Amino acid sequence: MNKTTISQEVLKQIQEKKIEPKPKWQFLARNYMVWGAGSVCVVVGGLSLSVMAHMARVSDWELYANADGSALTFAIENMPYLWIVVMVLFILLANYNLKHTKSGYKYRLASAVVVVIGASVFVGGIFHVMNIGRALDSLFEERVPYYAQFMAPRHAVWMNPEQGLLTGKITDDASDDSFIMVDIYGGEWEVLFEKPELRGMEIIKAGLPVRIIGEAIDDYLFKAYIIKVLPPEQPFGPKEKFYYRFKKIKKGEPVSESFFGRPRTI
Amino acid sequence: MEFEHLKEKTDEELVALAIDFQAAFSTLIDRYSDKLTWYIRQITNVSREEAEDILQETFIKAYTNINSFDPSLKFSSWIYRIAHNEVISNYRKRKARPQDDANDIDDKLVDSLVAEVDLDKEVDREFLRKHLLDILGGIDMKYREVLVLRYFQDRSYKEISDIIKKPEGTVATLINRAKKECRKQIEKKRK
């Protein structure tokens, strides 16, 4: 078949099959979709990073270092596994989208990943400064099913009385040397103190969520050396058990002795 | 618009006209049909007739997607890219190797490949010419096509990058590996 025949044959097929060029808007729409999807992935990656940055900031590592706890345990319990998975997944998706843009093929995989990670870090930094990471973490703890349970280890690491770690909410205003609190699992404690180091507060008041470094004297008695108040909007434990018990105590209602198998002593 | 006048226009000008004026598209087909036929046959083992079928499909696809042509790209890279995709699609169905028509190979092309593959020019030039298609057929498709584009179609690294949609660095790596594979095949053939 010579050249003229090939062009004639092609034009004949175009006419017979009524082939028409696809409209330009279809290609533009596809490009916008690819860029749009890639941008969404970068934003989600950035959100994940901002939540992780927030969690690192409020992990209270420097407070934990005062206790006898294991640094490795602390790191493992506080690792934001869920957000790491989300970040990695969306960075990979963003990279996939970048590769499918018009010029995406020109970038080597390593360069593309660096660009995408860099963009996520930049966006995540902005979100972190705007406290969006904190807001998202709080919102997820309140509203997203199973999130609180999944993230519980970061709170549980602070509930180890044998190692001098206690966390919960103060139920009554303090006397000269003690106060009552409910821990995050609904257990009740009398906390004794003698010139403790107070962080984030000047007076020990009812309603304050706290993390305490000290030593357990017995099952319901704890001596505090350092007491740190947590910001009011910061999640600090699984809510159902804690709030149930906390509200009952505040109302002065009796709490069943068999509740979590820990009878009241006070 | 007169047909002869179209022949003076650049590829990109013809693309702009082709949407409304099929004679412009016909001129593009005439310009590229020989080169693309040769390219298709160099990297597959299809017969001339099948190569022309692939070629027709290439041009139909080009016509259908003509509004996606990006003027920042050379038209030749774009049309070769479409041919490349059609060849890959056809190759996957057939898994074939090139053969025959060593007489189609230009001596200058053989010389350039001999020089690049680092063979002894006098002894191996004739050997390569005689067994070139077999030698090419013995190497992986992804190496074969970059060798064909670089040494037989005289495409730059950037053009090859645009055609096969891989970074230029990757193209350079593929070409180096392709030359090594070529040498291996030559040694194998000699034995």
**pLDDT value of residue B59:** 97
- Per-residue pLDDT band at A256 (split at 50, 70, 90): very low
- pTM assigned to the model: 0.78
Locate all alpha helices (DSSP H) within B65-154, ordered by sequence: 75-94, 107-117, 121-137, 141-147
Q: What tokens appear for A166 in the block? A: 């206690």
Average pLDDT over residues A26-31: 95
What gap in Å lies between CA A129 and CA B114, rounded to an integer? 61
pLDDT computed for residue A241 by the predictor: 55
Is residue A192 within 8 A of residue A217, CB to CB? The reply is yes
What would the two tokens of residue A45 be? Answer: 């990656």
**pLDDT for A229-241, tens place per residue?**
887 667 666 655 5
Chain B residues with CB under 8 Å of A110 CB are none
How many whole angstroms separate alpha carbon A158 and alpha carbon B166? 51
Is the pLDDT reported for residue A144 higher than 50?
A: yes
pLDDT tens, residue by residue, A177-223: 899 998 888 888 999 999 888 888 778 888 888 999 999 998 899 99
Task: Return phi, psi of residue A192, to 5°.
Answer: -95, 150
- For residue A72, what are the contacts with CB-CB under 8 A and spacing of at least 6? none
Which candidate from B55, B65, B165 shows the least CB-CB separation from A105? B165
pLDDT at residue number B49: 87
Which residue, among B34, B64, B68, B157, would best test binding to A if mutated, counting the most A CBs under 10 Å from its CB? Answer: B68
A17/chain B closest Cα distance in angstroms: 11
For chain B, the maximum distance between any two Cα atoms, rounded to a whole number of angstroms, is 60
Q: Which tops the pLDDT comparison, A83 or A157? A: A83
pLDDT at B77: 95
Tell me the three state secondary structure of residue B106. coil
Q: Report CA-CA distances (Å) from B174 to A8, A164, B83.
A: 37, 62, 19
Give the closest residue to A186 by CA, choosing from A129, A107, A258: A258
Q: Report the DSSP beta bridge partners of residue A199.
A: A228
The two tokens of residue B58 are: 């290439």
Q: Which amino acid is at A183?
A: D
Q: CB-CB: which of B26, B65, B67 is closest to A7?
A: B26
**A23 chain-B contacts, CB cut-off 8 A:** 67
Q: pLDDT tens across A101-126, in order?
A: 989 999 988 899 999 999 999 999 99
**Closest chain A residue to B21, measured at CA:** A11
pLDDT averaged over every residue in chain B = 83
Give the pLDDT of residue A253: 57
Write out pLDDT tens, residues B123-146: 566 777 777 777 887 888 899 999
